[in-house]
Amino acid sequence: MLAEIFNYISENKEWIFSGIGVSLITMLIALFRRRKSDGRIVKQIQKSGDSSVSVQIGNIEK
């Protein structure tokens, strides 16, 4: 299995490491990192001190 993966990478290294391949791999890694083990999207939490202004943008689930 591991040998097949290395063989595939060596045969397709030009496509994988071109702009399209790098973009696709980056998007896949970002997608997997954003999800928890139970499949939910990780919520953002922000804490700030007294008399401070905090701005947070992104999706907010309630």
pLDDT tens for 9-31 read 899 888 777 878 788 888 888 88
Residue 38 pLDDT greater than 80, yes or no: no
Domain that holds residue 7: 2-34
* 12 within domain boundaries: yes
> Would you place residue 40 in the very low, low, confident or very high pLDDT band (cuts 50, 70, 90)?
low
Q: Is residue 39 part of a domain?
A: no
Other beta carbons less than 10 A from residue 56's beta carbon: 9
Residue 54 covered by a domain: no
Instruction: Say yes or no to pLDDT of 37 above 60.
Output: no
Taking the C-alpha atoms of residue 19 and residue 26, their distance in angstroms, rounded to an integer, is 11
Paired tokens of 62: 């309630």
Ranges of beta strands (E only) in the chain are none
| 48 domain-assigned | no
| Between 45 and 25, residue with greater pLDDT | 25
In a domain, 29, yes or no: yes
